[in-house]
Chains A and B, each alone.
Chain A
Amino acid sequence: MQVDRTIAPPIHLISKIELPTPERIVLSNGIPVYISNMGTQEVMKLQIAIKAGRPYEDTQMAARATGRMLREGTKRLNSAEIAEAFDFYGASLSLPTSLDYSSLVYYSMTKHFPKLISLVTELLTQPVFPEKELTTFKENSKRRLQIDLTKNDVVAYRKITELIFGDAHPYGYNSTAEKYDRIQRKDLVQHFQKNFHANHCVIFLSGKINESILQLIDQHLGQIPAGIVQTPFFPTPNTAPPQKSQFFLPNSLQKAIRIGKRSMTRNHPDYIGFMVVNTILGGYFGSRLMMNIREDKGYTYNIYSLQDTMQQDACFYISTEVGNEFLKPTLKEIYLELDRLQTDLVPTEELEMVKNYLLGNMLNMVDGPFKVTNVVKTFVLENRPFEGFQQMVDLIRSISAQEIRDLAQKYLKAADMWEVVV
């Protein structure tokens, strides 16, 4: 069979990209549960998102410390017994804290869930935050921080977010050894009592879910007591004009570059359009920054730009590490690419590629229970209707080169950017 390899196979447009709408139930104590019951394997994920992030802190670092320490002892069990119980059934439990939320993320085979749901509930209702465990957490966190502070990329990230939001802002402050030292058991207890209650919780369930699991969830998590809804703290972010700053680490073979600014939340009318702009600039492998600075010049192993979106605010930044000798030419090319998006229209071929890439990406985002539940979570936590998913698809399909240039002119001005080199 002869085949003409010079002709690319035809590209088919993706006909259907839909977010499977989750089922919603409400527990006896009012906690909403969003259920994405799908998948082929007998596995499941339970995520409980609690409004208990940094904007709810009375003391800096209280959110992270409280979240991480939930598994270190309850009225009934010590840290070792808790770890043993989850490990024994091959379940995984993590306690990540984003800037806005504390979460409990549980994965296991569906069949083991009935044995562990009461323990999950216990962590959220009866933690005791033992002094000894808190000391271990503080000491080990400080050791890790000490290592992290020798890495260019970590230092650069800390600097730019601190500059953009200000060091008193919940999205801008950084952890330090002193802050770890300062945090006390009573701060954790207070943070827990104020924020870990039913009125601050939303639950996301995904994977193979059956009726008896839903009953168990209501029996247990439905008992989390109610509480007073707290007001998050959002001071005015840094209003100083952006600056360029350098903090060189000794003996470093590379420089880390971060260039960025405050940006918009997902509720902003320009959010989706700017997401397309960001993708063209540095949001995928074929992006301009990647094609120019890595694939043409070879200055770096990786360069990207991203929109980091929080509940009340957001930042946008470009990130790369380059050999010391490539610092100047890299900066020059980055600003050139920012400028090019504001001056020239995106060529039709490139726009088609980025649209198809984004649509394929959205199809991938709704492939399988655990990806679907992540999308569902984002919409729920930001109070957006699920129809927003379809609007994203439609807007990506319809956005024009002119609109992209307009958005770039509005949001990518070099004069608005903070620049950090470490």
Chain B
Amino acid sequence: MNFRKIIKNKIIEIIGQMDLTLAVSSIENDTVLLESGLDSIGFAVLISSLEEDVGFDPFVELESPVYPATFFELVSIYEDRKDPNT
């Protein structure tokens, strides 16, 4: 599963869906999520709707809470869940 692509598309979809504005020219690894144009509700909607697309919510499965700040950190959490050894 290409999480990078799925999550990027989802961010753009939610920004459109919630009448927000994409605040960066493109979403890159170091893009700070809350500066991308997503507000806090948009971020919450992103996490909960990703669960519908990928079939799991990695945050529910983590033993200690992790707070991703950048796009890279968020993608890593999904990828790491897929294969914990990488």
Binding between chains A and B = no
Q: Give the interface of B toward A (CB within 8 A).
A: none
Q: Give the interface of A toward B (CB within 8 A).
A: none
